[in-house]
Amino acid sequence: MPHDRLLTKIAANGVDLMVVEWVKKFLPGRSHRVRVGGQLPEEVIVTSGVPQGNVLIPLLFLAYVNDFGGTLSLIYGCSQMNV
C-alpha cells in the first residue's frame, strides 16, 4: 500500500497500534478532481500522500514530512482517547 511509509513512521514512534490501524483504514478510498475553467473532469483515485480536507490532515502531514518533531505528543494524545 502506498501509505505504508506514513503508517511505518507513526508506528515506529510509539503511537498506539489501535490508532495506526484506524489511520490505515482512514487513508484508502480517497479521490479528487479539480475544476478548471468550468470543466470538471472525472475523479482520480489518490493512492499516496496525505488526503486533504480533514482536521487530522495537518498532523498526518507533519508526521509524514518532519519525522514527528513536536507532533508525536499530539498524535499520542489522540491514542489515549476513544477514536
C-alpha span between 15 and 9 (Å, rounded): 9
Cβ proximity of 59 and 75 under 8 Å: yes
**The pLDDT of residue 77 is above 60:** no
Taking only the tens place, the pLDDT of each residue in 17-35 is 898 898 888 888 778 888 8
**Position 1 confidence tier, pLDDT thresholds 50, 70, 90:** low
Domain of 57?
Answer: 4-79
Q: Which residues contact 50 (CB under 8 A, 6 or more apart)?
A: 6, 57, 60, 61, 64
* Residue 27 C-alpha from the chain's centroid: 6
- pLDDT (tens digit, 9 = 90+) per residue, 36-73? 898 998 988 877 766 677 777 787 777 777 655 554 55
Q: How many domains does the chain have?
A: 1
Beta bridge partners of 30: 46
